[in-house]
Amino acid sequence: MPHKIGFVVVSSSGHEDGFSARELMIHAPTVSGWRSPRFCQFPQEIVLQMVERCRIRKLQLLAHQYMISSRVEFYISESLPEYFSPYQAERFRRLGYVSLCDNEMTGCKARELKSVYVDAVGQFLKLIFHENHANKYNVYNQVALVAINIIGDPADLGDESNIASREKLIDQYLGHNTEDPALEGTCTGKSDYISPLDDLAFDMYQDPEVAQIIRKLDERKREAVQKERYDYAKKLKQAIADLQKVGERLGRFEVEKRCAVEKEDYDLAKEKKQQMERYRGRAYARLQLHGLLDAELVRRPLGLPLQPLVPPGSPRHQPATLLPPPREEGVTENRFAEPLLQDKLSSHSLDTSQQPPVDQSLPATHPHLKTHLQSLPYDERPLPAIHKQPGAAAMEPEDGDMGMSEAPRGATAGEPEPLTEKALREASSAVDALGEALVAGAYSKTWSYREDALLALYKRLVEMPVGTPKEDLKSAVRASIFLIRRAIRDIVMPVFQASLKLLKMVITQYIPKHKLSKLDTTYCVERTVPVLLTRTGDSSARLRIVASNFIQEIALFKDVKSLQMIPCYLVQPLKTNASTHLALSQMDLLARLLKDLGTNDTGFTVDNVMKFSVGALEHRVYEVRETAVRIILDMYKHHRALTLDYLPPDDSSTRKNVLYKTIFEGFAKLDGRPTEAEVRAQKKVATEEAEKRKKDEIKALQGQLAALKETQAEVQEKESEVTKAKDPDAQGRKAAPPNTPEALDTHCLDNLCIFCGERSDSFTEEGLDLHYWKHCLMLARCDHCRQVVEIASLTEHLLTECDKKDGFGKCYRCNEAVLKEELPKHIKTRDCNPAKPEKLANRCPLCHENFTPGEEAWKAHLMGAAGCTMNPRRTHVPHQPGKGPAMSKSGTSGAKAGSKIPTPKGGLSRSSGRTYTKR
């Protein structure tokens, strides 16, 4: 009959911390299951090994509520493929795939239980998870599996299956019908019948202890049906139905209690616990009232919390509430997997109908072993082999009286199994020094014997007298280190901790006590620390922490510190194919020991630490790179100049790398210098303040200029009124003699350029316009609006007056007008010559040079022999005859006005020349 098949997890492509694939080996309401790493690559895969070669009939998957794979593929194999075992060429055979719902209909609040019926034979099952369904809750693109259930029956039945089929043919020939309707729903009713108790939903929603009781009652019900005790079977059927409701409610209470603990609401957790105990006690009392509950089903006084019947360290011990193990200890569940596999492989296969119940197959001389096996949940019990003993009488299950005393450790088999020939050859030196019995315990397949062997060795070394010969002491050390190396690789946490305890005692007590040489300490360190470093990359977070803390503690011991060996191991370059946990642990351990030991005669030097850290900056894992940056900054605190020798120069190209930018900014903070970001912020603030001041000055000047224009207009109006008020016959009179003062002043301003001071007889009104348009060295033509403006005011014209002024911006360094599309590049290149304040220098917009302040300096710069070389009108220096103070003054006043000369002929105002002449 198909039944639940036990399995262990062989490998997985990865998992998130605390959600190992080994969680799938436990079925309980509070189990968390497996989760893929965050932002992992697809597909992800998990390989399971079943306890025996079997024919799989049904597969069940319980998906996560929102971390849902779009498709899951199934592969099966008789053995591991060649990438696991190099000498096996067998490959996985594809069975098919199932698609999972995206769960949008339920709002990602329900879990999908997918059942698949198959017919395949093998011992290894591989699951491949494809890309996840996208939803708002799955922000890290993960896939998860809460539980998996395998239902099947053994495939290697051999001759027994032939015997069973032959007996079936005989029964059919004689007219015996095995398909009796009275047996419907029992294990003998149908050969392919699958019990509801083996369904995944039963374990995932039932309290584990109640589920164990239900299975035992179901076994009794089947036996009662076979013996035609129908009244008793009816009672058991009703009890099972009632217990199922009890188990589901207790399962809900357990989940609520776990949620309260996670929220640190311990009052609510205590209330839930007491509520569970009261409810469980009432349910058990009803069973006892009907005579269905005995010590075999629940081995504890009613009303008291469950207590383990075996010591906590026993390999068969499991808490009655079946809470999942701590997530950090991802390998604890192998305590059941190892004996399960070995017991099953060594036992003979039996037909299901011929197997007696578990408690009847055990010898009468081992009642405690019976208690051990019954304390395990159904899916984790080893299938029993036949123990035929003469005179052993069958016993009714309900009449059995089990002892309440605790079983001693090791009672499951009495003694550890003897060493194999290979083990004897491998451990011959340890056997000679420590004895075969102790080494056999260290090599045992039961983890409790391995732990006991290490503890016994610890006690022997502590009690070894001081006067023991040196050769015996050294032999004991080397034999102990041999066993410690083996135990450090052990996947069971108690054995691993026992090995660390023994190693610490050997290094810190045994060697100093017996005054052994430094060579013995060196031997211990070099044989164990590399193995310990590999364990810091284990998938179990608890084991990684224990291993790292132990290495740090041993490295600070004075005898080990003087050897300077552990720092040398830590600065070895990271391997590209090393696991993420291993790289992170090595970096973290290096950072901690560097703070504790320093770089003075400790094995750490500036050279090896910096080379290691700079190499770690290229690692693929962000946390490793971040730790490397922290180590480099710590080194810079103590060795500033030496640290810089191992880094590239601090320039713009190097700072494009974010890590180096962070490092150099960290250096600046340590030195008390402002970082590049702070410098940029300060410059930005200074620029904004300068721009604000400039705008205020321009605004004030514009206001003054407007006031001057208004005043000038009023003066001109008054002059015109005075002229009109004079004698109206003045126009008919002859002009005043040329030697009068007014005629003299007019004569001085005629034929004179008020900008450059040049005088010429050709400077009539039209001649002056032509001079302004083409030849005056103090003027320039705007290339954008075609107006003639003074060179001194060209920048202001482009920014405020030109028709194209919206296309110009002002450079904060040189204060000149630059096209806006070229302004960012102009500012970034920093090629412009910085301008000085107006009170200190004038700024030429043609040659971009600073020169002496003042308005007369403009003439010297634009018209002098050593003046501006970029003036396009400068072909020669004009001769200025008769230039006097009056001319200079008038030219200066014209410059102040910021003149604009329009295009001649095409729009040239004749009054413009007169305006300048009047000035």
* DSSP string covering 462-497: HT--TTS-HHHHHHHHHHHHHHHHHHHT-SSHHHHH
Neighbouring-strand partners of residue 55: 121, 153
Instruction: Encode pLDDT of 704-745 as tens digits.
Output: 888 878 887 888 887 777 777 655 554 444 444 444 444 444
**902, 788 Cβ separation under 8 angstroms:** yes
Q: What is the mean pLDDT of residues 60-81?
A: 89
What stretches of 645-750 show up as alpha helix (H) in DSSP?
A: 652-655, 658-671, 676-725, 741-749
Q: How far apart are CA 604 and CA 262, in angstroms?
A: 43
Q: What is the pLDDT of residues 296-313, one digit of tens each?
A: 555 443 333 333 333 333
Model pLDDT, residue 247: 86
Please give the pLDDT value at position 488.
Answer: 94
Mean pLDDT along residues 10-22:
90
Q: pLDDT tens for residues 856-909? A: 888 888 888 777 888 888 764 444 443 333 333 333 333 333 444 444 444 333
CB atoms within 10 A of CB 863: 22
The residue ranking higher by pLDDT, 606 or 194, is: 606
Contact 497/329 with Cβ under 8 angstroms? no
The string of DSSP codes covering 119-157 is EEEEEEEEEEE-PBPP-SS-TT---EEEEEEEEEEES--
Answer whether 337's CB lies under 8 Å from 433's CB.
Answer: no
8 Å CB contact between 617 and 659: yes
Lowest mean pLDDT among 210-224, 523-537, 771-785, 898-912: 898-912
- Tell me, what amino acid is at 460? R
Rounded (10°) angle between helices 447-462 and 493-505:
10
Residues 638-659: tens digit of each pLDDT: 888 888 889 988 888 888 888 8
The two most distant CA atoms of the chain are separated, in Å, by 167
- Arithmetic mean of pLDDT, 557-586: 90
CA distance linking residue 690 with residue 684, whole number of Å: 10
Please report the pLDDT score of residue 190 as a whole number.
60
CB 901 within 8 A of CB 772: yes
Q: Classify residue 676 as exposed, middle or buried by CB count within 10 Å of its CB (0-12, 13-18, 19+).
A: middle
d(CA 524, CA 532): 12
Closest Cα partner for 782 from 765, 799, 757? 799
Q: Which of 10-14, 59-63, 555-559, 700-704 has the lowest mean pLDDT?
A: 700-704
Cα distances (angstroms) measured from residue 860 to each of 114, 439, 790: 95, 106, 15
8 A C-beta contact, residue 375 and residue 316? yes
Most trustworthy range by pLDDT among 3-17, 151-165, 181-195: 3-17
User: Confidence class of residue 684 from pLDDT cuts 50, 70 and 90?
Assistant: confident
Peptide bond into 324 cis (omega under 30): no
810-828 b/e with 16+ CB inside 10 Å = b? bebebbbbbeeeebeebbe
Contact 776, 913 (CB under 8 A): no
Among 579, 572, 559, 557, CA closest to 612:
572
Round to whole Å and give the CA distance between 873 and 775.
6
Q: Single out the residue of 284, 129, 148, 152 nearest to residue 217, CA to CA.
A: 284
**Beta-bridge partners for 77:** 124
| Residue 776 in tokens | 């005056």
pLDDT value at position 781? 87
Task: Report the DSSP pairing between strands 788-790 and 900-901.
Answer: antiparallel
For tokens 């989940």, the residue is 255
User: Taking all residues of the chain, what is their mean pLDDT, rounded to a whole number?
Assistant: 76
Note the pLDDT of residue 421: 86
- The secondary structure of 390-414, three-state, reads CCCCCCCHHHCCCCCCCCCCCCCCC
pLDDT band at 86 (very low <50, low <70, confident <90, very high): very low
Q: What average pLDDT does this structure show over 770-784?
A: 86
**Cα–Cα distance for residue pair 566/604, rounded to 1 Å:** 9
The rounded distance, in Å, linking the Cα atoms of 506 and 427 is 19
Backbone angles phi and psi of 269, in degrees to 5: -65, -40
Cβ-contact 56, 357 below 8 angstroms: no
The three-state secondary structure class of 609 is helix
394 pLDDT above the threshold of 70: no
Calpha distance 898→879 (Å, rounded): 24
Under DSSP, is residue 102 helix (H, G, I), strand (E, B) or coil? coil
Q: Give 605's pLDDT tier (boundaries 50, 70, 90).
A: very high
DSSP conformation class of 267: H
- Comparing 602 with 174, which gets the higher pLDDT? 602
How far is 604 from 602, CA to CA, in rounded Å?
Answer: 5
pTM for the whole structure: 0.37
398 CB-near residues (< 8 Å, 6+ apart):
220, 291, 294
Question: 906: buried, middle or exposed (CB in 10 Å: 19+, 13-18, 0-12)?
Answer: exposed
- Which three-class secondary structure state does DSSP give residue 622? helix
Helix H or strand E segment including 55: strand 44-63
CB 837 within 8 A of CB 824: no
Q: What is the pLDDT of residue 294?
A: 58
- Run of H or E including 118: strand 113-129
Question: CA angle, 336 as apex, 334 and 337 as ends, to 5°?
Answer: 60
Quick one: what percent of the chain has pLDDT higher than 70? 73
The secondary element (H helix, E strand) that includes residue 640 is helix 640-644
What's the gap between Cα 702 and its chain centre?
61
- Among 485, 572, 573, residue whose Cα is nearest residue 524: 485
Q: Which two tokens stand for residue 649?
A: 């120069």
**569 near 612, Cβ under 8 Å?**
no
pLDDT band at residue 329, thresholds of 50, 70 and 90?
Answer: very low
Between 773 and 132, where is the model more confident? 132
Residue 918, amino acid: K
The pLDDT assigned to 191 comes to: 64
Residues 6+ apart with CB under 8 A from 11: 46, 47, 84
d(CA 209, CA 435): 43
Kindly provide the residue ranges of all beta strands, DSSP E only, lying in 751-873, ordered along the sequence.
779-781, 788-790, 808-810, 817-819, 842-843, 850-851
Q: Are 25 and 8 in contact (CB under 8 A)?
A: yes
850 bridge partner residues: 843
Cβ density class 377-402: b for 16+ within 10 Å, e for less: bbbbbbbbeeeeeeeeeeeebeeeeb
pLDDT of residue 78: 85
Task: Report residue 482's pLDDT band, with 50, 70 and 90 as the boundaries.
Answer: very high
- Structure confidence at residue 545 (pLDDT): 93
pLDDT band at 68 (very low <50, low <70, confident <90, very high): very high
Eight-class DSSP state of 362: S
The answer to whether the beta carbons of residues 542 and 495 sit under 8 Å apart is no
Read off the DSSP letter of residue 678. Answer: H
Check if the beta carbon of residue 483 is closer than 8 Å to that of residue 454. Answer: yes
Among 184-193, 232-241, 812-821, the minimum mean pLDDT is found in: 184-193
For the stretch 122-151, pLDDT in tens is 989 999 999 999 998 999 999 999 999 999
Q: Which two tokens stand for residue 595?
A: 């703070």
Count CA atoms within 13 Å of residue 1 on its CB side.
16
Radius of gyration of the chain (CA): 49
Tokens 């102009």 correspond to: 826
What pLDDT sits at residue 166? Answer: 52
Which helix (H) or strand (E) segment is 21 a member of? Answer: none
